[in-house]
Structure 1
Amino acid sequence: MEGDGGVQLTQSPDSLTEEDVCVIQDTWKPVYAERDNAGVAVLVRFFTNFPSAKQYFEHFRELQDPAEMQQNAQLKEHGQRVLNALNTLVENLRDADKLNTIFNQMGKSHALRHKVDPVYFKILAGVILEVLVEAFPQCFSPAEVQSSWSKLMGILYWQMNRVYAEVGWENSKK
């Protein structure tokens, strides 16, 4: 996996089965209980392996050392924000209207306000999966668990691309 963003773009929002939803929600509980550490671990891995992503974060774009990143208050705060957003998705997997609202808000914010290239959602999705497998092997080692989470990350990326297209991302970044 290696945090390469190896998430399929073709996952449509209806591709999660009820079994996938149950697996995702069950395996998410221990992660969310450790959300502060998990959020930092995800972002440190993301920024260490993909330093170009730091360009969007003025408060920690100059940080190079992973230990320094782990101590940065703004990075910790953003890690919490990422995990809280993921928690909101996980909690609402059976509510298509709520998910649509979440994806629209997240996509518009990142496209229009922050001007984040959508490829970083794909990369971050791969990093999240990589960190979860390493940090929570008791939950994330089975292949079916990884498959369910890969579907969810694919949906996230697909939805972000949908919203970016709707807001005219190609035109707005010029």
Structure 2
Amino acid sequence: MERMRGEGEGEGDPPGRPGPLTDKERLMVQDSWAKVYENRDDVGVAILVRLFVNFPLSRRFFSQFRDIEEPEELERSAQLRKHAGMVMGALNTLVDSLDHSDQVASVLQRVGKAHALRHKVEPGYFKILSDVILEVLGEEFPAVVTPEVGGAWTKLFATVNGGIAAIYEEVGWAELSASTG
């Protein structure tokens, strides 16, 4: 996301909405991601297993492993590994695109519309997933994801979650979920 302000970042932003990443924050996210992405397969699986163990209701959106409860069995699931690869790929595209707000918007459009219209995933799960990602990265890469770097990731995920929420609103999620519930 393009830097649009000087040192007074955040001034004048609507409450609850983060400003764009600063150049320093963008670089912290990109540098830390490069190290994480080297281990993308294992990290992706760890993220999804943590999500499904800590938030078991989230499994209902996945017919392929909805009924798998044991973490070890989840880790061995080929379908889970495939989906973990897609999650990590989408995150990689997002991080690689941080210098280009139009590309970030395109990633969010694609992910948001697919999850709202096709997969019917409740939008709150993006916040839950963001928190799980930050937790796993902080545990698995403590030397890389320092508190300052974690703050940059938190700001990025707040922006992403706001963008996803806007897309859900745009596609009429409230009406869609009411008609299918």
Normalised by the size of structure 2, how large is the TM-score?
A: 0.88
Post-superposition CA distance 1:140-171 (Å, at most 9, x none) = 1x221010010111111111101000000000
Q: How many pairs are equivalent? A: 164
2:17 paired residue number: 11
Aligned equivalents of 2:147, 2:57: Cα separation in 1: 31
Aligned match of 2:9: none
Mapped contact 1:55–1:61 kept (Cα < 8 A): yes
Between structures 1 and 2, the one with greater helix share: 1
The alignment partner of 1:137 has SS state of coil
Query: What percentage of aligned pairs have identical amino acids?
Result: 43
Deviations 1:27-64 (A, max 9, x none): 00111010000000000000000000000000000000
Match of 1:47 in 2: 52
Q: Distance in 1 between matches of 2:34 and 2:51?
A: 22
Deviation at 1:10, TM superposition (A): 3.0
Structure 1: tracts of 5 or more residues without a match: 1-8
Verify: 1:128 aligned to 2:129, yes or no.
no
Secondary structure at the counterpart of residue 143 of structure 2 = helix
* Corresponding residue number in structure 1 for 2:4: none
Of 31, 50, 60 in structure 2, the residue corresponding to residue 26 of structure 1 is 31
Q: Which has the higher contact order (CA 8 A, sep 6+)?
A: 1
User: Does 1:104 find its partner at 2:104?
Assistant: no
Answer whether contact 1:122 1:157 (CA < 8 A) is retained: yes
> Which residue of the other structure, out of 162, 166, 169, is the alignment partner of 1:165?
169
Q: Radius of gyration: which is bigger? A: 2
Can you give the 5+ residue segments of structure 2 that lack an aligned partner in the other structure? Answer: 1-14
Hey, what's the Cα distance between the residues in 1 that align with 2:74 and 2:148?
33
Across the aligned residues of Structure 1 and Structure 2, the Cα RMSD in angstroms comes to 1.1
